[in-house]
Amino acid sequence: MVRIATYNVEWFDGLFDDAGGMLEDGGWSGRHDVTRADQLTALGIVFTAMDADAVMIIEAPDDNRTRSTVRALETFAHAYGLRARKALLGFRNATQQEIALLYNPDVFEARHDPQGDETGKKGTRDAPRFDGVFRFDLDIDATPDLIRWSKPPLEVALTNRENGRVLRLIGVHAKSKAPHGASDPDEVMRLAIENRRKQMAQCIWLRQRVNDHLDAGDSLIVMGDFNDGPGLDEYEKLFGRSGIEIVLGEAGQTELYDPHARLAVSRRVGAMPVTARFWIHSEKRYLQALLDYIMVSPDLLASKPDWRIWHPFDDPVCYRTIELREALLTASDHFPVSIDIDL
């Protein structure tokens, strides 16, 4: 049995210097009213409690000419004695929020293994490599739009050292639908609809890749922060479905499975699982949402894996363990999601 997790760590990059050293001091982190030392300590508690064999980290530390995602994450893992102590980065991006895999090299071998063809500026309609350009008509005007990922998904070939079984992982950080920069209600509506169109195009692109893997008989896990979920906003009604439903699979397609997503699709009212908690300053309240998922292919589902959202209040063990509960609230605005699976 192994444990694989996904965790969006809010502004992880702000906790390291250019050399990859941890900034364990009283300076402010990217978290509101949380020092860097307190966020690092909280993250150490959360990662230690998870004790995962592999963690897909969303908003991993930046990688550029002077900073290294791998160096920062491996420094962090060493400091807290984590079994998942080896880091893997895919295509770097310009947002200071990378997607990276932190894994246990005693259990897994991992390599970045991007699929699809490289594209030029004109792109292609057929699931190009995730650092390329996807041609898709967003607004039904018969003119294809050029879609890009600001944070290209991380494609990993993950090999179980014990038996040689290969898993395909795809780590995702989809476009936010939030209308950032809008100055009036009309602009809020325009940007929200435009962003949802772009996000859905990303999900269609991703689903094309999922189809390729399922057609090839690959064992597949798609995981990360999708910034979306069934019924999250009223603009979803304009398109008839959410991006999550597209990636999971629609009528006639082989479906991926995530129990939390399936519950949200089937029950649009009532209590829902949640993976993120944001403070809404203007309303003086917290907004909770289901944004983070671990979706598995049918062959992996057959092994009866066990999903868990490490929610500080909804998970009984997290709630009863005061140190862990407080760490989860301090570490990030998202909570980890894990799956225990027999490989």
- Which pLDDT tens digit goes with each residue over 243-263? 899 999 988 899 999 999 999
Choice between 180 and 289, residue whose per-residue pLDDT is larger:
289
Distance separating alpha carbons of residues 36 and 240, to the nearest angstrom: 42
Task: Tell me what percent of the chain is helix, strand and coil, each rounded to the nearest 5.
Answer: 30, 25, 45
Is 133:144 a contact under the CB 8 Å cutoff?
Answer: no
Beta-sheet pairing, 166-173 with 54-60: unpaired
- Which pLDDT tens digit goes with each residue over 2-18? 999 999 999 999 999 99
61-68: list long-range contacts, CB under 8 Å, 24+ apart: 61/12, 61/13, 61/15, 61/16, 61/20, 61/98, 61/100, 62/13, 62/96, 62/97, 62/98, 63/89, 63/92, 63/98, 64/92, 66/18, 67/13, 67/16, 67/18, 67/20, 68/20
pLDDT at 188: 63
List the domains of the chain with CATH numbers. Answer: 2-341 (3.60.10.10)
Phi, psi (degrees; rounded to nearest 5) at 311: -90, 135
Beta-sheet pairing, 54-60 with 2-8: parallel
User: Would you call 301 helix, strand, or coil by DSSP?
Assistant: helix
Query: DSSP code of 188?
Result: H
C-alpha radius of gyration, the chain, whole number = 19
Q: Exposure string (b/e) for 65-102, b if CB count within 10 Å is 16 or more?
A: eebbbbbbbbbbbeebebbbbbbbbbbbbeebbbbbbb
pLDDT at 197: 83
Q: Decide if pLDDT at 232 tops 60.
A: no
pLDDT at 121: 79
CA angle 34, 39, 45 (to 5 degrees): 140
- Which pLDDT tens digit goes with each residue over 55-97? 999 999 999 999 999 999 999 999 999 999 999 999 999 999 9
Helix 69-79 to helix 36-50 angle (10° resolution) is: 70
Alpha helices by DSSP H, 216-333: 243-248, 259-266, 298-301, 316-320, 322-331
Percent share of the chain, pLDDT over 90: 74
pLDDT at 79: 98
Q: Decide if pLDDT at 177 tops 60.
A: no
Helix 36-50 to helix 322-331 angle (10° resolution) is: 120
Distance separating alpha carbons of residues 164 and 166, to the nearest angstrom: 6
How sure is the predictor about 124, in pLDDT bands with cuts at 50, 70 and 90? confident
